[in-house]
Amino acid sequence: MTATTIRLLPRALRFLRGRTRVLLLMGGWSLLETGHTFISGYGVAKALDDGFLAGRTGTAMAWLAVAAVAVVLGGAAGRGVFRGLADLVEPLRDVLIRTVVTRALDEAVADPARAADTAVVSRLTNQTELARDSFAGLVLVARSFVFTSAGALLGLFSLAPQLLLIVLPPLVVGLLLFLATLRPMARQQRAFLQADETLSAHFGAVAAGLRDVAACGARRTVKGRADGLIDAEARAARRLAGWAAARCLALGVAGQLPVLLLLLSTPWLLRQQLTAGTVLGALTYLTQALLPALHTLMNALGSAGTRLLVVLDRLTGSPDRTPRGGPAAAGHAGHADSVCGTAAAEPGSAAPRPGARTDPVGPRVELRSVTFAYGPGAQPVLHDLDLVVEPGEHLAVVGPSGIGKSTLAGLVTGLLPPTEGTVRVDGRPPAAPRPTPDAEPGCPALPDPGPSRRRVLIPQQAYVFSGTVRDNLLYLCPDGASDAAAAAAADAVGLSPLVSRLGGLDARIDPAALSQGERQLIALGRAHLAPAPLVLLDEATCHLDPVAEQRAEQAFADRPGTLIVIAHRITSAQRADRVLVLDGIRATVGGHTELLDRSPLYRELAGNWQPESAERGR
């Protein structure tokens, strides 16, 4: 029994206990199938011995008529079973859909970027339907095998107990051989589903990031990774097919060998005073009942059974504790459901690059042994991360998509609480209120005057609301600001031409009429004007051209305070005092030149971040 089976067994038993009436109803209908199986072989034996061989044709026809009626009753039993099957299958599907949707919504609330996770889409559609169909098939074939085998073995015993000595040994051995293949088949089925999810997630990420692929000149790299994932899925499918072929041996031992042994033992059975009708009845049980039931059971358990086990494990939890694809894959682009989220501490303390600011203005940011995961049991996005950003420092954060860069920004701003470890901004949790400067020792802190006084986070999707340009720029200024200050901030980040075109600070804005880059410029001007000494730019310049991006980032670098930039281009990292590289295994910190020597992932990112013309010239 696998660990997955042990984990899922209590849930399965609770699910079935809640539907006892349905199970009893299906069992009652299935008893008719047992009777049909019993009569099929017993009627043939009696028709031959007491009818045709005894010269009583009427008796023979009567027994055959009884067997025909049993066939009709077996059909009625199947109809009743199918009616009860829906009461088992549809509730299971509903439970799985609720589970997947609830987990997806929880993750989307915690991190909106996870809402487009293509692995979640695969679980909600393809894998849920796989689970429902597989469960329905297993219920039907398992029920049929149990009641058919009971009827056949009871019939064999009624005809002659000696027949069981011939039939049971190969039947048991074949079933044991088959059961021995289930665990490796489940392992290969899991590998195939993981390869399918990884491929789906990769294509989803590429489709959403085609602009980045073109801007970075990474077509060859993306194509190479896609080819590798396609080959991995094909290999997993071939291994799974190889184990499926092993079912043929078990089926031959359990189903075909008893027939052969019965034929070879016929002379001995006749010497034991068994009649020709008894032998023919036993042959009927084997070929018309046991062999088809075995064939269906092994096919169902070997394919649908292992598939159901793996899919249920994927849908109901039990996330892998290692990055998908192993440690080597941790540096590759991933998706939200399979994010390669470990970052063991390697904070480093490289000296600031030449020309960096030396004034210690701004808060000190500290992360100590920080681990964060989106929900209980989920794979950590960041693991055991240590990081110190000194006052007034300019830090750039780089890494593959989905590695945890935006999560880091959420932790520093207090939007996300760490699962483990501590985050401190100027020695306090980022979401904690500050006491007023004149508060007496021991007195409780007064209400927080506003988080915008302490930190500003500008995400990739900039928010601009209907109102005037001034309203948008002063949105993060609790005490307001002069027109001169607003104009200076707009000029610093390169927003002035847009303000002039719109009609000045009093012009009203229609957000739908602005481009993504124009929205980002307004958000950057708003952040630059804000009094907060800590600014985090989460790819906040991704829709700007490199020249505009350089001007905006330089404006924030010249602004007093601590600056953390989640880089969209490698030039952002080159302009920073230090660079934090998240690669899913550890966090590496250093200067641009230093990291080119120390970090293979940083070298890869720097190599891919080339103009498109450079790739065409190769």
CATH topology for the 455-531 domain: Rossmann fold (3.40.50)
Per-residue pLDDT, averaged over 257-262, amounts to: 90
Residue 164 one-letter amino acid: L
Q: Identify the residue with better confidence: 308 or 355.
A: 308
Query: Which residues share a beta bridge with 563?
Result: 394, 535
Tell me the three state secondary structure of residue 17: helix
pLDDT of residue 334: 33
Residue linked to tokens 């701004």: 362
Contact 591/579 with Cβ under 8 angstroms? yes
- CATH number for 3-318 (one of 3.40.50.2300, 1.20.1560.10, 1.10.150.120, 3.30.70.520): it is 1.20.1560.10
Angle, helices 3-17 vs 306-316, to 10°: value is 80
Domains 3-318 and 341-430+535-618 share a fold: no
Tell me which range, 175-189, 334-348, 518-532, is most confidently predicted by mean pLDDT: 518-532
Residue linked to tokens 């739908």: 512
For the sheet with 534-538, list strands across it. Answer: 455-458, 534-538, 562-566, 394-398, 578-582, 587-590
Half-sphere exposure of 203 (CA within 13 A, CB side): 12
Domain limits of the chain? 3-318, 341-430+535-618, 455-531
pLDDT of residue 453: 77
DSSP 248-285: HHHHIIIIIHHHHHHHHTHHHHHHTT--HHHHHHHHHH
Cα gap 574→396, rounded to integer Å: 9
Q: Identify the residue with better confidence: 544 or 116.
A: 544
- pLDDT tens, residue by residue, 336-352: 332 233 333 343 333 44
Per-residue pLDDT, averaged over 192-213, amounts to: 76
Q: Percent of the chain scored above 90 by pLDDT?
A: 20
Q: Percent of the chain scored above 70 by pLDDT?
A: 76
- pLDDT tens, residue by residue, 11-42: 666 777 777 777 777 777 777 777 778 888 88
Q: Is the pLDDT of residue 328 over 60?
A: no
Q: Is the pLDDT of residue 357 over 60?
A: no
Burial of 272 (0-12, 13-18, 19+ CB in 10 A): exposed
Tell me the backbone φ, ψ of residue 416, rounded to 5 degrees: -125, 130
Q: Which residues in 467-595 belong to E strands, given as ranges?
A: 467-468, 508-509, 534-538, 562-566, 578-582, 587-590
Percent helix, strand, coil in the chain, to 5, is 65, 10, 25
Q: Which residues in 451-558 belong to E strands, given as ranges?
A: 455-458, 467-468, 508-509, 534-538
Contact 538/405 with Cβ under 8 angstroms? yes
Q: Which residues in 415-529 belong to E strands, given as ranges?
A: 420-425, 455-458, 467-468, 508-509
Residue 436 — pLDDT band, cuts 50, 70, 90?
A: very low
Q: Is the pLDDT of residue 494 over 90?
A: yes
pLDDT of residue 428: 87
pTM strictly above 0.85: no
Consecutive H or E run containing 193:
helix 162-208
Cα gap 2→38, rounded to integer Å: 36
Tell me the three state secondary structure of residue 185: helix
Contact 549/308 with Cβ under 8 angstroms? no
Contact 302/141 with Cβ under 8 angstroms? no
- pLDDT tens, residue by residue, 155-182: 899 899 989 989 889 988 888 888 887 7
Q: Which two tokens stand for residue 228?
A: 């590798």
Look at the alpha carbons of 174, 179, 180, 182 in this order and tell me if their dihedral is positive or negative.
positive
Q: Is the pLDDT of residue 365 over 70?
A: yes
pLDDT of residue 205: 76
Contact 403/583 with Cβ under 8 angstroms? yes
Tell me the backbone φ, ψ of residue 292, rounded to 5 degrees: -60, -40
Characterize the bridge pairing of strands 467-468 and 534-538: unpaired
Tell me the three state secondary structure of residue 344: strand
Alpha carbon separation from 385 to 183, 361, 380 (Å, rounded) = 37, 25, 11
Look at the alpha carbons of 569, 571, 574, 577 in this order and tell me if their dihedral is positive or negative.
negative
Q: Which CATH class is domain 341-430+535-618?
A: alpha beta
